[in-house]
Amino acid sequence: MPDAVSAPSGATPTSAPRKPRVQHLLKVVRRESLSPHMVRLVLGGEGFSGLEFKDATDQYIKLLFADPALELERPYDMDALRERLPMDQMPVTRTYTIRHVDHARGEIWVDFVIHGEEGLAGPWAARAQPGDLISFFGPGAGYSPREDAQWHLIAGDEAALPAIAAACESMSDSARGLVLLEVQDAAEEVPFSAPPGVEVRWLHRGAPFSPESTLLATALSEVQIPAGDVQVFIHGEREQMKAVRRLLVQERGLDRKGMSLSAYWAYGRREDQFQAEKRTSVGKIDPE
């Protein structure tokens, strides 16, 4: 939400005008299979010049998807569509991290977790071919590793892997810390570089994610966190993030302020359900 604009005494405060969202259009330049369940799409084209990138590693874009049966052309004229389509037929967004920005080539990399025909973005990415168009809002950003942090605690599941890899590759060689990454098995590991003082530890569930197979929260409970300035970035499944919050804030006494801890998805929920529940108590990581 935008901050309220200060008003003279007795005047009615007004909200700062919301900056209009600009819809960008890129095309698939090439694709690469990274693991059995992850594919990388490299996006580029004339629209790259209109992107305003942030000074952050966790840069994200909100990809737009519409029912193919409607045969809508990208970029979508959202105002015109609102006048003629019911809300349940309007294009919807799916949020993805930009894995890498190649300014020289005018390209961005976006990595997708693929699970059959489940969802919208995954099936689209599984079938996308060079020349296909994609439109999106953004980029936005929310996190970067601090150069002055004494230690970094970074963790997540497959959905957080692109953001975690981008963060590690941005760190200086003097950085210290631990990265925990939960994936199904060794075949799902996607290599990336990290400073010598940042240990990368892979956790293998041995099965698809479930509340019974997940290892992340338990592994974090066994980590010895040093005293001092610890910067935290942990993202993943919603109920696991609630457990991690209890562990780090209530039990270990880490400062919640400045901690990047949030849910990228929720087990047993479709994306639309997950997004809608963010406005309810069940969808919040922090207690009311």
Q: What is the pLDDT of residue 246?
A: 96
Q: Report in angstroms the alpha-carbon separations of 45 from 32, 49, 137, 244.
A: 18, 8, 16, 40
Single-letter amino acid code for the residue at 107: E
pTM strictly above 0.85 = yes
pLDDT of residue 17: 59
Contact 155, 216 (CB under 8 A): yes
pLDDT of residue 114: 92
Check: CB of residue 33 under 8 Å from CB of residue 118: no
What is the structure's pLDDT at 16? 53
**Alpha-helix residue ranges (DSSP H) falling in the chain:** 78-84, 121-127, 161-170, 216-221, 238-245, 271-277
In the block, tokens 């629209």 appear at: 47
Q: Provide the residue-wise pLDDT of the chain in tens; the chain has 288 residues.
A: 223 222 333 333 444 556 678 999 999 999 999 999 999 999 999 999 999 999 888 899 999 999 989 999 999 999 999 999 999 999 999 999 999 999 999 999 999 999 888 788 999 999 999 999 999 999 999 899 999 999 999 999 999 999 999 999 999 999 999 999 999 999 999 999 999 999 999 999 999 999 999 999 999 999 999 999 999 999 999 999 999 999 999 999 999 998 999 999 999 988 788 888 888 999 999 986
CA distances from residue 63 to 9, 107, 128, 233 in whole angstroms, order as listed: 43, 16, 14, 23
Q: How far apart are CA 44 and CA 38, in angstroms?
A: 20
